[in-house]
Amino acid sequence: MSGFNTAIFEKTDWGLAYVTLNRPQALNAFSVQMRDDLYEILTAIRQDDEIRAVIFKGAGDKAFCAGADLREFLTAPSAAKARKIRAIRDLWRLFLRVPQPMIAALHGYVLGSGIEIGLFCDLRVASEDAIFGLPEVGLGILPGAGGTQTLPRIMGMAGALDMLLTGRRLNGQEALQMGLINQLVPRPELLKTAEAMAHAIASFDPVVVRNAKQAVIKGLDMSLSQGLDLEWRLATKTKRSQCQ
């Protein structure tokens, strides 16, 4: 699949997909066009059973993504239009519906929507040059890509509120200590580490992997008791699929 302006979508013959945010001249800032491109790419990934794992990365040396495109703020649509677009193209909810594990390979600036894209991934590996932050409140806005919800779920409320309310930026070591990322590696090791994670995932039965992911992601929105029921249902379904 090709022809996107702001992202590159590639697929290997062993079932790994790469999604590269590709506006390096603007530090891969998240634009309306990028939203539409990612929407199409994620829709294709969801429907492709050959894909077993997905790696998100950023083009260029300086950033995974420096947040929402600030130049587009000047031409932002009205609230009504934005609501309508979100109803038909809700990229952030689509992230939640991708059944395959997604890995974020994060380097350089990981700000605003950049960190939020990373938070929708299931695993996060960062290089030592990474800088994480949510600058939105300082800009007079709220994060619009789920950050107020995903960040506390992943790193806990104390760290999330610190980043959100004070604009505190974290370096890679702090992000690791605070549970925002799974691994911190030297820059040359970044992609290799993400690929090793993807290889480990791809070596397992894809149905089992998807069910395990679903149990965690859906279970997070449930009470413990409902979550145990969900786990039981998925475990039974997994066993049945292996007996077929």
DSSP-derived 3-state class of residue 8: strand
- Taking the complex as a whole, how short is the minimal distance between the CB of residue 56 and ligand COA, in angstroms? 17
- Taking the complex as a whole, how short is the minimal distance between the CB of residue 27 and ligand COA, in angstroms? 4
User: What would the two tokens of residue 203 be?
Assistant: 């070596």
Name the active-site residue from 50, 116, 128, 231: 116
User: Taking CB under 6 A as the rule, does residue 109 contact ligand COA?
Assistant: yes
- Taking the complex as a whole, how short is the minimal distance between the CB of residue 121 and ligand COA, in angstroms? 18
User: Taking CB under 6 A as the rule, does residue 136 contact ligand COA?
Assistant: yes
User: Using CA of residue 81, residue 83, residue 84, residue 85, what is the dihedral sign?
Assistant: positive
By beta-carbon distance, which residue lies closest to ligand COA?
67
Q: Pattern of binders to ligand COA over 27-46, x per CB under 6 A?
A: x-x-----------------
Q: Which of 9, 56, 69, 98 binds ligand COA (CB under 6 A)?
A: 69
Maximum alpha-carbon separation in the chain: 57
The C-alpha atoms of residue 66 and residue 42 are separated, in whole angstroms, by 21
CB 96 within 8 A of CB 217: yes
CA 167-172-178 angle, to 5 degrees, is 70
Instruction: Determine whether 136 is an active site residue.
Output: yes
The pair phi, psi for residue 52, each rounded to 5°, is -110, -20
User: Taking CB under 6 A as the rule, does residue 135 contact ligand COA?
Assistant: yes
- Taking the complex as a whole, how short is the minimal distance between the CB of residue 243 and ligand COA, in angstroms? 49
